[in-house]
A and B are shown apart, each in its own frame.
Chain A
């Protein structure tokens, strides 16, 4: 089954404790990205990757890191989480970065930083 798998689904952590949210897709998609969803703000892009070892900042990259060492995986790293990073996070993949390509989403990670 074609899917984007994101883990964990729920995470509560303390300020400053490094964490990683994993994302994996089995569709051989080139393009992957991370979003955060906040009430009244919709989904905002954090980082995206157009292929292995090619990543770039989205609209809200501060406080986040990513890596793309393999085509299927695109983890999101919070080196020192802060309460303003409490949010719902989505990983998404697309066949390509071209405009016709629809996005496939993971199931979301609800992160709470206390």
Chain B
């Protein structure tokens, strides 16, 4: 079965520091994409970053970057220079091409401390 696991239910980080959120997944597919979504207190789900599995280079979007290790099936999100507005729930997601389903992890609640 295809699964996505986020092992850190809650994390906190000081403003301006760096934090890494972990995500592991399991799939037999060879070509796929992985996503990180952010859910702030407003509940709106916002795409943070995506990674194409066949690309060696890790994706980067401003202060957000990923550490993608395909062999280990690991897809962690690094937030640099954390800001108060980064306080949110973060979900790792995997759209399965085989089953047409979009599979989410259980989420990591991140709190940025002033």
Contacts and interface: CB of A to CB of B under 8 A. Distances in A.
Q: Do A and B come from one complex?
A: yes
Contacts of B97: 97-99
B102 A45 contact: yes
Interface in A56-114: 56, 58-59, 88, 90, 92, 94, 97-103, 105, 107-108
Contacts of B9: 40
B101 A48 contact: yes
Interface stretch (B11-19, B45-53, B58-66, B69-77): B45-53
Size range of the interface on A?
Answer: 20 to 34
Size range of the interface on B?
Answer: 20 to 34
A103 B44 contact: no
Interface of B: 6, 9, 29, 31-33, 35, 37, 42-45, 47, 50, 52, 91, 93, 95-97, 100-107
Interface of A: 31, 33, 35, 40-45, 48, 50, 56, 58-59, 88, 90, 92, 94, 97-103, 105, 107-108
